[in-house]
Amino acid sequence: MTLGSFRLLLLGAPGAGKGTITRKLRDVVPSLNSISSGDLLRREIQAETKLGSIASKYIDKGRLIPDELIISLVSNHISTLSQKGMGAQWLLDGFPRTLHQATALHDILEPRNQCLTHVVELVVPEEAILGRIETRYVHVPSGRVYNLSYNPPKVPGRDDVTGEPLEKRSDDNEETVKRRLKAYNEMAQPLRDFYGSRGLLHTASGDTSDIIFPKVLEALKK
C-alpha cells in the first residue's frame, strides 16, 4: 500500500494499542520515524547532555519535566530529521499531552512548514482495555510493550530485541487503569477540540488492533 507523506500524532487511552499500531505502520512505511518524547529524554540523559542533566534533576526529585523542555526536545529532533533529509514522515508518540504543549508545538513547527498533517485517536471500549492490561508485559529499559493475547514476545517472557526479561507493571491493575482512563479523557478533550477545529482529527475505533489498523490507514489517505 502506498501512502502519501504524513506527519502523524496518535492519540489513545493507556492500553489502546498505540505501540502496536506504530509497529504496524512501520511495517507499511519502513522510513517512518517514530518520535517518542520518553525515548528522546532517555537518550539525552544517557548522553549526559545539558538538556539531559536538567531533565534528570526533575526526574530524580519526582517532579514533572516542564513543558518547555519537552517541546524544545521534540521540535529540535524534528528539525534534525529534516536537516538529514528524514523529515518527510514521522509519528509523535506520547506528546503532546496537553493543550499548552499542542499550541506551543504548532507555533514552533508552523514557520518551518512542518505542522502535523493527521491526528488519529484510537478509540477502544473500556472493557477491552481492561482485558488487555491483564495480559500486558513490558521491557522496561526500552518501553516496548507486549500482550500475551495478541502481540506476544517471540520467546515467552523475553524482549524480542535484547532477550532481556519482561516485567508486569505494578500499576497494571483495574483500579489504577480506570483512574488513568478518566485522566486521559479529561486531558484529551481539549486536544480533540484543538485538532478538530483544524480539520486534522480522525478516529479509528474497535476492540482489536486488527480492526483498528485498516481504519488508521484510511485516515492517512485523507
Hey, which residues are catalytic here? 18, 97, 136, 169, 180
SS3 49: coil
Residue 72 assigned ligand-binding role = no
Is 96 annotated to bind a ligand? Reply is yes
- Residue 16 is classified by DSSP as S
> Is 145 a known ligand-binding residue?
yes
Q: Is 213 annotated among the ligand-binding residues?
A: no
User: Does the annotation list 57 as a binding residue?
Assistant: no
- Please check if 198 is assigned to a binding site: no
59 in helix, strand or coil?
A: helix
Q: Which of 55, 37, 20, 48 is nearest to 151 (CA)?
A: 20
Is position 65 annotated in a ligand binding site?
A: yes
Report how far residue 38's alpha carbon sits from residue 94's, in angstroms, rounded to the nearest whole number. Answer: 7
Contact 89, 33 (CB under 8 A): yes
| Residue 146 known to bind ligand | yes
Q: Give the C-alpha distances (Å, rounded to integers) separating 57 from 4, 45, 63.
A: 41, 10, 9
Annotated binding site for AMP: 37, 42, 63-65, 94-97, 101, 169, 180
Annotated binding site: 15-20, 37, 42, 63-65, 94-97, 101, 136, 145-146, 169, 180, 209
Annotated binding site for GTP: 15-20, 136, 145-146, 209
